[in-house]
Amino acid sequence: MLKQAWKSSQKRSSKTMSKSGISSPRTPYLLLLPGMGFLFTFFIWPIANLAQTSTQTPVAGGDTGSYEQTLRWKNYIDAFVENKEQFGRSFLYAALATIFALTIAYPLAYAIAFKAGKMKNVLLVLVVAPFFTSFLLRTIAWKQILGEQGFVVPFLRNLHIIAPSTTLTSSAFAVVAGMTYNFLPFMTLPLYASIDRIDPRTLEASGDLYANGFTTFRKVTLPLSMPGVVAGTLLTFIPAAGDYVNAAILGSPETKMIGNVIESRFFKIVDYPTAAALSFTLMATILILVTVYIRKAGTEELV
């Protein structure tokens, strides 16, 4: 009797809610429509258009920039072979920038989370403050800092670390340094969010069990902060691999990255199929690397 009464009450409540439109089966789908429309308009449709552009070939006797669909999949092979050095350089620079950013950001995030006290919010604002300035202006500022008129080159020359004729601009060092600085907040904020959630009592318990500072960090702090490490490295590596602003302003033709090639193919050479093929190859490579990295890091739940 009790079960039947409970079922009848559930049916009455569900009918009442469905009449009011609160739990209509179509309500979740209606709520998804704005987001799905935005996703389709600004992501799926451009990606589909880019995909069909990547297999086109120039129109015989046509004007510059005129292409027709011929399903030439060899465009991908040709584009990669012609620009394999830029691909390798892009991933190398992105990996170096990610490692340097992690090296700088982890102690910074740790200090803000555990040592800042009342200054925690102020330091977080200072971490985010570079976003208030244009990405382009920040990169140009680094060109001045690393240039002859800056303080870095004279300081290193006085210490005899670099030769009097050595310059830092238009070099791989300048490009990696600019990328590290520009993407440092992307590394710091996820690390801080992850480290700040660590209960300090776990660190105290580690000390009570006679673990020294290094052992506590290796056995407790680092494993508990791994979600932040993975998120930060992904947020740094992915945009760094496709970046072209730092290489264009701080680098030289010898430090050109794949982003510079894609930008040149789209807007200067007007070779849309090659640019589209390079874009898809870069996106697929990054997706594969990210998937392997996440699985190796043991944080599949972040996907």
Q: What tens digit of pLDDT does each residue of 147-159 get?
A: 888 888 888 888 8
**Backbone phi, psi, residue 242, to 5°:** -100, 5
pLDDT at 147: 87
Q: Is the pLDDT of residue 138 over 60?
A: yes
- The verdict on residue 4 lying in a domain is no
Residue 15, pLDDT above cutoff 80: no
Work out the pLDDT band at 41, boundaries 50, 70, 90: very high
For residue 21, the model assigns a pLDDT of: 46
Average pLDDT value for residue range 163-179: 90
Q: Does 36 fall in a domain? A: no
Mean pLDDT score across all residues of the chain: 87
Tokens of 44: 């799926």
In tens, the pLDDT along 278-288 reads 999 999 999 99
Say if 215 falls within a structural domain.
yes
Task: Give the DSSP letter of residue 131.
Answer: G
The amino acid at residue 181 is: Y
Overall average pLDDT of the 104-111 stretch: 95
Longest dimension (CA), the chain: 95
Buried residues in 136-168 as b, exposed as e (16+ CB within 10 A)? eebbeebbebbbeebeebeeeeeeeeeeeeeeb
pLDDT above 80 for 112? yes
Q: Distance between CA atoms of 200 and 170, rounded to whole angstroms?
A: 46
Highest mean pLDDT pick, 12-26, 32-46, 57-71: 32-46
| pLDDT for the residue 154 | 87
How far is residue 6's CA from residue 21's CA, in Å, rounded to a whole number?
Answer: 22
Decide if 15 is inside a domain: no
Q: Is pLDDT of 293 > 50?
A: yes
Q: Are 193 and 230 in contact (CB under 8 A)?
A: no
> Residue 149 sits in a domain of what CATH number?
1.10.3720.10
Structure tokens at 95: 């990996």
Residue 112 covered by a domain: yes
State which residues form the domain around 171.
Answer: 74-302
Q: List beta partners, residue 67.
A: 58
More confident: 293 or 61: 293
166 part of a folded domain: yes
- 258 pLDDT tier (thresholds 50, 70, 90): very high
Under the banding of pLDDT at 50, 70 and 90, the label for residue 8 is: low
What total of structural domains would you count in the chain? 1
| DSSP SS3 for 58 | strand
Q: 3-state class of 68 per DSSP?
A: strand
